[in-house]
Structure 1
Amino acid sequence: GGWDAANVYAYYGNPIQMPLGAWPGKAMTKDSQGNFYIDLPKTYADSDVKLIFNKPNSNVQFPSAVGFDFSLDGHYAKDGLK
């Protein structure tokens, strides 16, 4: 999608826990094909972690609300489909 960089914000629970830190979360690594990735613990799947991806230094994020359910296969397309 033309992003030079991307962050992932993760949260779960009540009260809200933010394992990757406060917004905007943690910087992701970009590979030579233009995909972004980050290694996350498998235990996130047991904690019902939600993920929101955002473009640094902007208000662009997806999904726009709630977040993706963390999935062990970890593939999320820019159009918002898993």
Structure 2
Amino acid sequence: MVVIRLSRGGAKKRPFYNIVATDSRNRRDGRFIERIGFYNPVASGAEETFRIAQDRLTHWQGVGAQMSPTVARLVADAAKKTAA
């Protein structure tokens, strides 16, 4: 099954997450099919915290990919922020 989840990168104490579409059997930071965005929880100032390619997200959901709970929360928060 294809799942859309976070893949951790960055240095120690400075996390940076790529949002990837991957097979659920692959490791968290292992092989992935496509990188569709990123999440930077320690962004400061005018740096961008979250970005996702909405067209690729809808494509993967259309072919049956499931979002992880954390990615679903981030997407919902971003949608709420843009609506306000």
When normalised by structure 2's length, the TM-score is: 0.33
Between Structure 1 and Structure 2, which shows a larger proportion of helix residues?
A: 2
Specify the structure having the higher radius of gyration (Cα): 2
Q: Which has the higher strand share?
A: 2
